[in-house]
Amino acid sequence: MKENNKKTGLSVRSVVATGIGAAVFFILMKYIAIPTGVPNTNVNVAEGWLALIAGLFGPVVGFLVGVIGHTITDATYGAPWWSWVLADGVFGLLLGLSKRFLDLEGGDLSTKKLVQFNVWQIIANVIAWLIVAPIGDILIYKQPASKVFLQGAAATIVNILSVAIIGSILLVAYIKSRPKKSSLRSE
């Protein structure tokens, strides 16, 4: 019988990243939320954290961190709001698609890559918060369209800013914390 050496599932590194990522996401979402003035919509610094985790570990980990972190946060208030949980998962998945062009493990984050990432996160925010969350609210919870699209628009704007500022700072800090490939010399 021939043994199959193909890897299946998540690596141990990805599982650990998912657990730690979701825990930090929960803490940030639960304890560092700034009200926007739009009901049930906050400036969420956790989205900037999700940008780093998804950019490092890819779409599966990004999706899981968004879903698990948001579900745990909502559960502390009573019950998960599934349309927004799903939107955070979609957002993490879409941010995770940036892993390939960011190549954070390669140790270089050019201005061009950072601009590309921020254009992509704007698109991902629009998809997650102006499409997935409001449509989910309408389909699952029978919420009024005017209310949920206002919430979605507010979430889109504040999450774009959160990722552009906090996410970009975290990406740059991560790169600066890594030794350069050429920093080791032979003596």
CATH number at residue 59: 1.10.1760.20
- pLDDT score, position 150: 97
Q: Is 6 part of any domain?
A: no
| Six-digit token string for 134 | 């409001």
For helices 82-96 and 59-76, the axis angle rounded to 10 degrees is: 150
In a domain, 40, yes or no: yes
From first to last of the 187 residues of the chain, give the pLDDT tens digit: 444 445 667 899 999 999 999 999 999 999 998 999 999 899 999 999 999 999 999 999 999 999 999 999 999 999 999 999 999 999 999 999 999 999 998 878 999 999 999 999 999 999 999 999 999 999 999 999 999 999 999 999 999 999 999 999 999 999 999 886 655 555 5
Calpha distance 157→51 (Å, rounded):
16
Q: How many domains does the chain have?
A: 1
- Residues of the domain holding 154: 12-177
Identify the residue whose tokens are 């389909």.
139
pLDDT of residue 175: 94
Per-residue pLDDT, 148? 97
In a domain, residue 3? The reply is no
User: Would 126 be classed as within a structural domain?
Assistant: yes
On whether the CB atoms of residues 70 and 84 are closer than 8 A, the answer is: yes
